[in-house]
Structure 1
């Protein structure tokens, strides 16, 4: 629960002062032996702990989902396999799995989404990474506009969407090959651009290294770069920027 939610429960008589005090005094982590759940992360950063599913043992993954769900009422997992999705859905029928982005989540319904984040891709092959970014941002309560397949090989496709991109509080630019999309967008907007290099491309792209170097060396201003294929990191950072923009507008 968030601090405000606890205080509202006390105000409504649904929780005693003693129960609220015990809630705030609890340890900032839950020791599971194989994992230490950061139960105070949402209080510190505004976002609860997210589960990186890849490589986790089945029993560990299931237990972690159970504990986070009990504490937060929802769980976001990234890089989940189809087998892991089946495991979680066997216990939580409300769990949703997207095989494209590999997002495995249990999400609160009717969640308000604020602001605007534009998530753009150079090509359709970049969409899995872009969807990881977009769905991460949406889970954290942000409105996302998807603008896919607008790479520089047909720049008129991008220019046709400039107004939508410029209206966003933050832009995520996802591209493989030579990674030029972020630089082009950076020269068109007055908001931060988060560049995401992908491992899409032929041999000399070196599994995303070429795009990464292009983005790091961009001559356009206002561009930050995350790791290769790190859609989650881009979605998280975009959420923080979007929140700042929304708060400033209020």
Structure 2
């Protein structure tokens, strides 16, 4: 933490005393939440608001606290009911209904490197959209390739060039999760696998797909939790940013 710079900013009226206090303490005390105001400085991206389990008033309070310096705001797992309240308070924000994400001030894309978000089926698209919107919010170009599962594997091969040319691939599948191993065996890029809770009884709400992906014999595959499109996109964004910096 650059204490001297913060104090100089206060002296020069570039930063208010209250904002300087946040920067020095490292978090804001809201009573129901301690908002991490230093996460961007530590990790490269600001704190993300997990909307599930929070009411509209709580989400609004956190956004107001985080947005004081025009940070990028991403709230995930926001229901349509809560989204209506957020849009009334922040009409300049955007609600992505399928992704269940509310976004303010997304980072502008400044690279030709892109992340490929690939799904096995149409039923996986809600998780895929959470991944795609998260990646786009953090300044990444995204290519969506949906419904190319192994039950009709010719659909995958018809799109393989777009997938191969991505800097990183997010592969999303339910059922038995076979798509991930197939993609992992065809590309020379990192593959981040997302098991989904889509499938019949023995899918076990995503456990079967999770175990299948963890046991993939394809090299270069890493796995996030069930339905965790956000987590996959966060990791993909970090990889994409590093590759862009190296090439730039």
Normalising to structure 1: TM-score of the pair? 0.89
1:106 is matched with: 104
1:75 is matched with: 73
1:128 is matched with: 126
1:92 is matched with: 90
Q: Given the superposition, is the C-alpha separation of residues 108 and 127 from structure 1 closer, same or farther in structure 2, using an over 3 Å criterion?
A: closer
The unaligned stretches of length 5 or more in structure 1 are none
2:209 is matched with: 211
CA deviation after TM superposition for structure 1 residue 34, in Å: 1.0
1:137 is matched with: 135
2:244 is matched with: 246
C-alpha root-mean-square deviation of aligned residues, in Å?
A: 2.3
CA deviation after TM superposition for structure 1 residue 90, in Å: 1.1
1:37 counterpart (23, 35, 48): 35
User: In the aligned structure 1, how far is the partner of 2:106 from the partner of 2:116?
Assistant: 23
State the aligned residue count. 240
Q: Deviations over 1:37-61 (max 9, x none)?
A: 1111001111011100011133211
CA deviation after TM superposition for structure 1 residue 180, in Å: 0.6
Question: What are the residue-to-residue correspondences of 1:39-58 with 2, within 5 Å?
Answer: 39-58=37-56
2:154 is matched with: 156
On the 8 A contact 2:195/2:210 being kept in 1, the answer is yes
User: In the aligned structure 1, how far is the partner of 2:216 from the partner of 2:96?
Assistant: 33
On the 8 A contact 2:131/2:232 being kept in 1, the answer is yes
Q: Given the superposition, is the C-alpha separation of residues 31 and 15 from structure 1 closer, same or farther in structure 2, using an over 3 Å criterion?
A: closer
User: In the aligned structure 1, how far is the partner of 2:98 from the partner of 2:33?
Assistant: 27
Normalising to structure 2: TM-score of the pair? 0.90
Q: Given the superposition, is the C-alpha separation of residues 207 and 238 from structure 1 closer, same or farther in structure 2, using an over 3 Å criterion?
A: same
The unaligned stretches of length 5 or more in structure 2 are none
